[in-house]
Amino acid sequence: MYPKSLVATLTGGAMSAVVLGGLLAAAPQAAAAGVTCGTNVFMRTFYKNTSFTGTPVKTDCDAAVGENWSGSPVAGVPSNNFGARWWVSRDFGSGGPFTFTVSATDGVRVYLDGVRKIDLWTNTGDTARSKSVNLTVPAGRHTLRVDHVNWSGAAKVAFGYAPRTAAAQDKVKPLAPTDVRTTYNTTTRKTTVSWAANKEMDLAGYSLHRRAVGSSTWTAVTTSTTARSHTDPLVNRDDRTPYYYEVRARDRAGNTSAGSADALVRPLPVVASLNGTYDKATGKVTLKWPLNTEPHFDHYTVLSNDLVEGSYAWVPLGTTKGNTWTTPVVADGETHHYRVLVTNDGGTTTHNPRTLDATAPHELWIDIPDGIAPAQAPDLALGSCTGGVQATATDWTPAPIRDFTGFRIERRAVGTTAWSVVLDKGYDPRRDPATATVCVAQPADGRAYEYRARTSDGAGNLSPSSEVLSVTLPTG
């Protein structure tokens, strides 16, 4: 503990103190006056005496101690017999060897954590003199204070402090960087690492290092950068290998810090393969894929490529933690496209481009049979022909919008249930309307026969049937 007399001297007799850097340090009365200065900026107080007693005449902030006053420094302070005090608390990082330099007329004293390091306390008139001291500043936060008094004449004072950066002088490693954060870009598949600024005053730069989980070997991503973020050019093609990143600091003496706390990056997860089948009986597609085994796996999202407002887009069907998904599909004879994305517990999801990718392992293209029959029944007309009945099917649909490729005409004896096909053929697309005709041999035995016509498409789907017509050829 410091003697009471020292504490009183440091605070100008006001008995105000704070603990900074682990040592008792004077806190000027200005702190109670509501003056706040920026980081590493000196707080300055003026007194109209040389004992630093009483209430300061003025309190302000000063970025550096460097003054040359030929008269009164501020209103209310005399030209002679006044005092000025500068005070700052700052973080010295890992500390190490420093040089404190002061130049002043009359009295000047420099303190580190309340301990006097420079003492030039004599009346020099207008002639300034200077002094430098080399000392070691411990790591962490410490306070600097400069007291200057002017008894007479010009008042000149300047103070500076700087690290000693020669390799032979500085053997103290910088502190390891902190607050290391990673951002994984699912589009570029690259990782950006950022970190907080070191407190070192002799910082030369940083280096970024990477190693795969399970490996003990670090690879340098960049060996020198003064920025506090860097994007790793590595594109992780495997998509599932997690990496650790660490940042190291280097000072101007060539000392390198220990690595920061490892920051884990779990890259873009992906489904290794995707398969699927279509069940015509149920009208559903079932998708299957191997379960992801990464410990950071969270869930899957199943998507279908559908027409949305005039253009195709990947539409989510739902999420699951399992490895199967069943979804109904219209049997429209089209190729349907499905995609399964993986999301890990960090919120990173498989890259999901708008376009189709036939080579992507997590994307499936599956052909769905056409189960949509032609919508409209044709007309049927019956007449006579040599040896039987002439049946003619006609469809009046305009050629550009026809949904069939041919006609089918069927016959059965009245009173039976089974129909037999008497015509199954395409039509001449040059003719409008579309027609097909067949001469069906029918015995003249007095029995009645029924006829009907339907259109058919390339998948074998049949339209509703025409009106059923019956005909009887009299016994010859």
Question: So where are the chain's domains?
Answer: 4-163, 181-265, 275-367, 379-472
Torsion over CA of 222, 224, 230 and 232, rounded to 10 degrees? Answer: -10
* CA–CA dist 431, 406 (Å, integer): 13
- Residues in CB range of 43: below 8 A, 6 or more apart: 28, 30, 31, 35, 37, 59, 60, 61, 62, 86, 87, 88
Per-residue pLDDT at 14:
37
pLDDT tens by residue, the chain, 476 residues: 333 233 333 333 333 333 333 333 344 444 446 889 999 999 999 999 999 999 999 999 999 999 999 999 999 999 999 999 999 999 999 999 999 999 999 999 999 999 999 999 999 989 999 999 999 999 999 999 999 999 999 999 999 999 999 999 999 999 999 999 998 887 788 899 999 999 999 999 999 999 998 899 999 999 999 999 999 998 876 667 789 999 999 999 999 999 999 999 887 778 999 999 999 899 999 999 999 987 778 999 999 999 999 999 999 999 999 999 999 998 888 899 999 999 988 788 888 889 999 889 999 999 998 888 899 999 999 999 998 999 999 999 998 889 899 999 999 999 999 999 999 999 988 889 999 999 999 888 888 999 999 999 988 899 999 999 999 988 76
Q: Tokens for 26?
A: 């004077």
* CA–CA dist 160, 169 (Å, integer): 19
* CA–CA dist 37, 32 (Å, integer): 13
Per-residue pLDDT at 266:
80
For 308, the enclosing helix (H) or strand (E) is strand 297-308
For 106-132, b/e burial (b = at least 16 CB within 10 A) is bbbbbbbbbeebbebeeebeeebeeee
Decide the pairing of beta strands 65-69 and 155-163: antiparallel
Per-residue pLDDT at 372:
87
Between vectors from CA 208 to CA 204 and to CA 214, what angle results, nearest 5°? 150
Asked if 274 contacts 340 with a C-beta cutoff of 8 angstroms, the reply is yes
CATH of 275-367, one of 3.40.50.620, 3.30.1330.60, 1.20.210.10, 2.60.40.10: 2.60.40.10
Per-residue pLDDT at 33:
61
Per-residue pLDDT at 458:
86
Per-residue pLDDT at 179:
97
- Residues in CB range of 80: below 8 A, 6 or more apart: 150, 151, 152, 153
- 181-265 fold: Immunoglobulin-like (2.60.40)
Per-residue pLDDT at 21:
34
Q: Do domains 181-265 and 379-472 have the same CATH topology?
A: yes
- 4-163 fold: Jelly Rolls (2.60.120)
- 379-472 fold: Immunoglobulin-like (2.60.40)
Torsion over CA of 415, 416, 422 and 423, rounded to 10 degrees? Answer: 90
Per-residue pLDDT at 244:
95
- Residues in CB range of 335: below 8 A, 6 or more apart: 365, 366, 367, 368
Q: State the number of CA atoms in the 13 A half-sphere of 444 facing the CB.
A: 8
